[in-house]
Amino acid sequence: MTNENQPALQSEEFERQAVPASHRKSWKSFLGMYAGEHAAGTEFMIGPLFLTAGVSAFDLIIGLLLGNFLAVLSWRFLTAEIAVKHRLTLYYQLEKICGKNLVSFYNVANGLLFCFLAGAMITVSATAVGIPFDMEMPKLTDTMPTGISWIVIVLIVGAIISVIAARGYDAVSKAANWMSPFIVLAFLACGIVALGQLGVKNFSDFWNIWGEGSDPFPGQIKYTFWHVMLWSWFCNAAMHIGMSDLSVFRYAKDANIGWTTAAGMYVGHYMAWISAALLYAVYLQSPEAQGFLSDGQAPPVAPGPLAYNAIGIFGIIAVVIAGWTTANPTIYRAGLAFQALFPKASTFWVTILAGAIATIAGLFPAFAMKLLDFVALYGFILAPVGAIIVFEHFFADRIGIVKNYAEKAGISFNIAVLLAWGISFGVFYSIAITQGIFLSFLTLPAWISCGLLYLGLSKYFQKEKAA
């Protein structure tokens, strides 16, 4: 890509300017994108992993109902509200508040975590592509690549996903809109077929699939109602209360478009998770799964074979495409993070870089097999930074601190931001580790703590500098 073309590519994505009215999009673009992104490859993993955690029917069905509703509210009244006010990417808005040097550290962490998440989705797609080649599927305890065929398939899948993501927001949005109806239909078909295979004839039979819950599988922890509700609220914490989706909703015509996230939460994080759990419930009745349990091992969770068992070739295609539609916007977000580090570089090539890192991560099954734990951790790390933006937006004028202080003061490192995030992260992560508390229980306290500390520290440092 020549230098002459780079500015044109950058201006089309508006990395360092507000999105103009001529490029704003209607609810249709976001509905398809969120339905496609959240009825996706990871859903084939998450649903079964809830079963391995021994959830009860009430914990799963009602916990998911409430947790996903709280996530939709977070997107609508925090992320979308702020996005349409400023219409900037997360990274450029943070740069104005934090300073270029400080936000560079955040961008590296954010971009890498998104790459690892996208890698898990590439792993999911690879489990489907590998079926015709009789590829050895990864187990819950696997961390390293399972063979040459696994490596080749992951590299091919990752390359295709990366190229689509690198073509920009329009390509990502169009891909999601084209594929999401197919994926939703596939999840619904999987759920219906699995209900038949389980002999479910009424709601009571359906409820009894989980019943009062069970002991967790070897190596897993027990999930209660609170685990399910809080995890489902905060599994996308980086995107909503962490403000990553400012980069997406800056294209929205108005804040009410934030309600389109409900398509992702209730078609994807509700129907799709439960359908995927039903697929795994069918597999658990097989002699192979019972053999693993008899040996004290957790039966493997391989989305490709689970879907293939239910709906055949249609299931393989669905898992492959589902992985694409989630990995595409995730790599796109990671590319924007790296773009902030290299503002003169082509958006296309920094997104390709993000895709390459995601593909390498996809070679290692651990990111997918420990997805519940990884998603809780990455949300916990990134969400408190979003509190900086939220608390400044709503409370800066009330308490008398300068908005976008780094930009206006001409500083490259806002110490108030670093201390607020470092203290809140350090305190609550230490509590989680020393007391054995599930991280999703502490995401909201850490987020609120970071926001309050930022306001107080900004008041102190800004007053000190003025004096």
- For 233-250, what is each residue's pLDDT tens digit? 999 998 899 998 998 899
pLDDT at 179 over 80: no
pLDDT number for residue 171: 62
Structure tokens at 132: 């015709």
Left (φ > 0), alpha (ψ -120 to 50) or beta: where does 224 sit?
beta
pLDDT at 5 over 50: no
CA–CA separation, 243 and 378 (whole Å): 13
pLDDT band at 450 (very low <50, low <70, confident <90, very high): very high
pLDDT at 340 over 70: no
pLDDT mean across residues, the chain: 85
Nearest to 74, CA basis, from 197, 206, 244 = 244
Nearest to 103, CA basis, from 378, 353, 405 = 405
pLDDT band at 1 (very low <50, low <70, confident <90, very high): very low
Q: Tell me the range of 291-305, 352-366, 390-404 where mean pLDDT is highest.
A: 390-404
Mean per-residue pLDDT, 23-38: 80
* Percent of the chain at pLDDT exceeding 70: 93
Q: Phi/psi at 364 (nearest 5 deg)? A: -105, 110
What is the DSSP code string of 108-122?
HHHHHHHHHHHHHHH
Domains of the chain, residue spans:
29-374
- For 65-94, what is each residue's pLDDT tens digit? 999 999 999 999 999 999 999 999 888 899
- For 203-230, what is each residue's pLDDT tens digit? 999 999 999 988 888 878 899 999 999 9
* Percent of the chain at pLDDT exceeding 90: 40
- For 273-329, what is each residue's pLDDT tens digit? 999 999 999 988 888 888 888 888 878 777 778 888 888 888 888 887 777 777 777
- The 10 Å Cβ neighbour count of residue 96 is 20
pLDDT band at 166 (very low <50, low <70, confident <90, very high): confident
CATH 1.10.15.40 fits 29-374, yes or no: no
Looking at the DSSP bridge assignments, the partners of residue 247 are none
**pTM of this structure:** 0.84
pLDDT band at 201 (very low <50, low <70, confident <90, very high): very high
Higher pLDDT, 231 or 23: 231
3-state DSSP assignment of residue 414:
coil
Q: Report how far apart, in Å, the C-alpha atoms of 158 and of each of 72, 287, 355, 387, 403 are.
A: 30, 34, 7, 33, 40
pLDDT number for residue 66: 97
pLDDT at 266 over 80: yes
Looking at the DSSP bridge assignments, the partners of residue 252 are 25
Mean per-residue pLDDT, 449-456: 97
